[in-house]
Structure 1
Amino acid sequence: MPASSNPDAAHGRPPGLESLMPGNAMEGLDESTWVDVIQKMDEVYSQLIDDEIELEKKNAELEQSQQFILSVLSAMSDVLLVCNERGVIEETNAALCELVGRAEADLHGTSFYDLLADSVSVERARTVLDNTNPPRRGEGLELNLLDAQGQSVPVDANCTPRVGANGRRVGTVFVARPTAEIKRAYHELRSAHEALKRAQQQLLHSEKMASLGRLVAGVAHELNNPISFVLGNVHALSRYCDRLRQYVAAVHAGESSEQLEELRARLRIDHMLNDLPSLIEGTLEGAQRTANIVNGLKRFSAMDPEARVPVDLNEVIKRAIHWVGKGAAPSFQVKWQPGPPLTVTGSSGQLQQVLMNLLQNAQDAMTGNANAEKVVWIDTESAGNRVRLRLRDNGPGIAAEHLSHIFDPFFTTKPVGKGTGLGLSISYGIVEQHGGVLSASNHPGGGAEFLLELPVAS
Structure 2
Amino acid sequence: MTTSKISRPSNMIDLLSESAGLPDDAHTENMWLEVIHKVDEVYSDLIRYESDLEIKNAELEEAQQFISSVIASVSDILVVCDEKGRILQVNPAFQRITGLGEDNLLGASLADFLIEEDRASALQKIAEGVAGTVTECELRFLAADRASDLMAINCSARFDHTGRRVGAVLTGRPIGELKRAYEALHRAHLELQQAQRKLVEQEKMASLGRLVAGVAHELNNPISFIYGNIHTLDKYRGALTEFLAKSNARGREDELRRRYKIDAILADLPSLIEGMMDGAVRISDIVRNLRRLSFSRPAETQRVDLERIARTAANWATRSKKTRAEICFDCDAGVVVEAHEGQIHQVLVNLIDNAFDATKDVATPRIRVAIRKTRARAEIVVEDNGRGLSDVVLDKVFEPFFTTKVVGEGTGLGLWISYSIVKEHGGSIVAANRPDGGAIFTVQLPMNGAPPQLRADEGG
TM-score above 0.5 = yes
Distance in 2 of aligned mates of 1:129 and 1:92: 15
8 Å CA contact 2:129–2:135 kept in 1: the answer is no
| Secondary structure class of the residue paired with 1:66 | helix
**TM-score, normalised to structure 1's length?**
0.72
Deviation at 1:304, TM superposition (A): 7.6
Deviations 1:198-251 (A, max 9, x none): 34433333333333332232133234346656777898999999x9xxx9xxxx
Q: Between the two proteins, what is the percent identity of the paired residues?
A: 40
8 Å CA contact 2:129–2:168 kept in 1: the answer is no
| Secondary structure class of the residue paired with 1:110 | coil
Deviation larger for 410-419 or 168-177:
410-419
Distance in 1 of aligned mates of 2:107 and 2:281: 86
Q: Pairwise mapping of residues 17-416 of structure 1 onto structure 2 (< 5 A)?
A: 17=11, 20=14, 28-30=23-25, 31-33=29-31, 35-36=33-34, 39=37, 42-119=40-117, 121-130=118-127, 134-135=131-132, 138-148=133-143, 149-151=145-147, 153-165=149-161, 167-225=163-221, 293=286, 296-297=289-290, 299-300=292-293, 305=298, 308-329=301-322, 331-336=324-329, 340-371=333-364, 374-393=365-384, 395-398=385-388, 404-405=394-395, 407-409=397-399, 412-415=403-406
Deviation at 1:352, TM superposition (A): 1.6
Deviation at 1:172, TM superposition (A): 1.7
Look up the equivalent residue of 1:435 and give its one-letter code. G
Look up the equivalent residue of 1:122 and give its one-letter code. R
Distance in 2 of aligned mates of 1:161 and 1:449: 56
8 Å CA contact 1:116–1:145 kept in 2: the answer is yes
Look up the equivalent residue of 1:76 and give its one-letter code. V
Deviation larger for 13-22 or 155-164:
13-22
8 Å CA contact 1:407–1:428 kept in 2: the answer is no
Q: Which residue of 1 aligns with 2:454?
A: none
Segments of 5+ residues of structure 1 without an aligned counterpart are 1-11, 248-256, 259-267
Deviation at 1:327, TM superposition (A): 1.7
Deviations 1:267-302 (A, max 9, x none): x9x9xxx99999999999978976875675465355
Distance in 2 of aligned mates of 1:307 and 1:179: 41
Look up the equivalent residue of 1:347 and give its one-letter code. H
Look up the equivalent residue of 2:98 and give its one-letter code. V
| Secondary structure class of the residue paired with 2:95 | helix
Confirm or deny that 1:437 pairs with 2:438. no
Segments of 5+ residues of structure 2 without an aligned counterpart are 1-5, 243-247, 250-259, 450-460
8 Å CA contact 1:142–1:154 kept in 2: the answer is no
RMSD (Å), alpha carbons: 4.7
Distance in 1 of aligned mates of 2:360 and 2:51: 88
8 Å CA contact 2:331–2:372 kept in 1: the answer is no
Distance in 2 of aligned mates of 1:339 and 1:90: 73
Distance in 2 of aligned mates of 1:202 and 1:337: 36
For residues 329 and 178 of structure 1, do their structure 2 counterparts lie closer, same or farther at Cα, with a shift above 3 Å needed? same
For residues 397 and 19 of structure 1, do their structure 2 counterparts lie closer, same or farther at Cα, with a shift above 3 Å needed? closer
Distance in 2 of aligned mates of 1:309 and 1:211: 23
**What is the number of residues matched between the two proteins?**
422
Q: Pairwise mapping of residues 421-436 of structure 1 onto structure 2 (< 5 A)?
A: 421-436=412-427
Look up the equivalent residue of 1:215 and give its one-letter code. L
Distance in 2 of aligned mates of 1:190 and 1:307: 28
